[in-house]
């Protein structure tokens, strides 16, 4: 694609692309199913006096928050940047993910406390029939959500690379739309919920046929709470990395530096910064020191083209300056140390 003075891509079209519209429909359907069955599990867990069912409902609450955050980010991605929000509103997705994690921790903490009290006193009764019915419906609900979110075939992309790029595994050569990325993440999360629901179903079957083993309910609550909290670790790690302005996990400092140094006319690079507004919106800035005989415009165009094509950056800011031997001893021109 030819450059339009300083911009790689043409002016993006208003509204959502067809891929994102499809992703929004899938997420809306799955979110509605998830919310309805989450409410059903809360009622069923209360009637059955089952903390394991409540724990499963808490995990569904995290799913609802995650999918609502994805829907919110899809909507915000259509809003233009302002003079105050110069990068746009992309990072709201990260804040929504953090709120979802915190809410899951709070609910899980309460359920763990109640499960501990039950194990201490054993003065409780589990309605095995209601628990079995609710757990069976929960399994069906997760299977329905997995069906709604299922993705078939490799995604494709149109429009602005910056708006729709997603991190790629090494060896792939096409950008993945943000909408499809959100749907795939929700699909993987729902698969984890399905496994947990199957575990709750197994506990409910045991309690239904062997009521004397009612301790399986608080014990499974402990086990599934650990799984639920553990499932938030990758999200929390990504949130902290983004909020701390860390480099994207899928983009290394050395490959970017070597790509810039491979551009004809570039002698050195410094002030290289990599960061991410979201998991799919990556930004780079750098200073390029070039030979006195090199054409600055040609160097800028070639360097930008290589960064966009090889790493899929959403925003690329390069400053071209003439190389001076003194740069080798300049402290500000040195590369940062390894973390």
pLDDT confidence of residue 67: 80
Q: Is the pLDDT of residue 99 over 60?
A: yes
Closest C-alpha to 214, from 124, 117, 94: 124
pLDDT in tens, 280-300: 889 999 999 999 899 999 999
Find which of 100-109, 149-158, 199-208 is predicted with most confidence, using mean pLDDT.
199-208
Both tokens of residue 215? 């301790």
Higher pLDDT, 44 or 24: 44
pLDDT surpasses 80 at 86 = yes
Res 234: pLDDT? 83
Token representation of residue 252:
């290394």
Q: Mean pLDDT throughout 5-12?
A: 53
Strand order in the sheet with 281-290: 266-278, 281-290, 315-322
Burial 300-338 (b: 16+ CB within 10 A, else e): bbbbbebbbeebbbbebebebeebeeebeeeeebeeeee
Spatial contact of 139 and 198, defined as CB atoms under 8 Å apart: yes
Q: What percent of the chain has pLDDT over 70?
A: 83
34-77: pLDDT as tens digits? 888 888 888 988 888 888 888 888 878 877 877 887 787 778 76
183 compared with 138, residue with greater pLDDT: 138
pLDDT at site 178: 43
Q: What is the pLDDT of residue 9?
A: 53
What pLDDT shows up at residue 180? 53
Q: What is the pLDDT of residue 311?
A: 92
User: What mean pLDDT do residues 14-40 have?
Assistant: 79
68 closest CA partner among 40, 96, 103, 107: 96
pLDDT at 147: 85
Instruction: Tell me how far apart the alpha carbons of residues 164 and 172 are, in angstroms, rounded to a whole number.
Output: 16
pLDDT of amino acid 173: 36
For the chain, state the CA radius of gyration.
25
Residue 339 has a pLDDT of: 67
pLDDT value at residue 152: 44
Summarised one tens digit per residue, pLDDT across range 206-258 is: 988 988 888 888 888 888 888 878 877 888 888 899 999 999 988 999 999 99
The pLDDT value given to residue 283: 94
With 0.85 as the threshold, say if the pTM is over it. no
Exposure on the CB side of residue 94, measured as CA atoms within 13 A: 19
The DSSP line for 31-45 is HHHHHHHHHHHHHHH
Phi, psi of 334 (to 5 degrees): -80, 155
**What is the C-alpha to C-alpha distance for residues 22 and 179, in angstroms, rounded to an integer?**
8
> pLDDT digits over 175-212, tens only?
334 445 567 667 777 777 788 788 888 889 998 898 88
Asked if pLDDT for residue 269 goes beyond 90, the answer is: yes
């Amino acid at each position: 694609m030819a450059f339009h003075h300083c911009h790689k891509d043409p002016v993006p079209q208003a509204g959502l692309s067809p891929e994102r519209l499809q992703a929004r429909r899938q997420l809306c359907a799955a979110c509605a199913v998830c919310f309805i069955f989450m409410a059903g599990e809360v009622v069923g867990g209360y009637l059955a006096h089952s903390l394991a069912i409540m724990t499963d409902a808490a995990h569904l609450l995290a799913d609802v928050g995650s999918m609502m955050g994805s829907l919110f980010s899809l909507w915000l991605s259509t809003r233009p940047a302002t003079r105050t929000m110069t990068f746009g509103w992309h990072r709201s997705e990260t804040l929504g993910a953090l709120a979802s994690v915190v809410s899951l921790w709070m609910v899980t903490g309460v359920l763990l406390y109640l499960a501990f009290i039950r194990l201490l006193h054993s003065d409780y009764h589990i309605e095995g029939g209601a628990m079995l019915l609710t757990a069976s419906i929960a399994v069906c609900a997760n299977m329905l959500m997995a069906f709604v979110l299922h993705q078939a075939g490799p995604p494709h992309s149109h429009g602005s690379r910056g708006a729709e790029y997603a991190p790629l595994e090494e060896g792939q050569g096409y950008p993945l739309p943000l909408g499809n990325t959100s749907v795939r993440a929700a699909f993987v999360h729902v698969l984890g919920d399905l496994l947990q629901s199957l575990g709750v179903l197994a506990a409910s079957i045991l309690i239904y046929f062997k009521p004397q083993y009612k301790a399986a309910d608080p014990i499974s609550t402990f086990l599934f709470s650990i799984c639920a909290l553990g499932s938030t670790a990758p999200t929390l790690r990504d949130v902290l990395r983004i909020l701390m302005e860390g480099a994207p996990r899928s983009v290394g400092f050395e490959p970017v530096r070597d790509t810039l140094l491979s551009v004809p006319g570039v002698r050195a690079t410094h002030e290289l910064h990599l960061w991410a507004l979201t998991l799919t919106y990556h930004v780079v800035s750098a200073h390029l020191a070039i030979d006195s005989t090199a054409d600055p415009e040609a160097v800028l165009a070639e360097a930008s083209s290589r960064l966009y094509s090889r790493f899929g950056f959403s925003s690329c800011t390069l400053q071209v300056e003439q190389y001076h031997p003194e740069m080798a001893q300049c402290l500000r021109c040195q590369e940062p140390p390894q973390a």
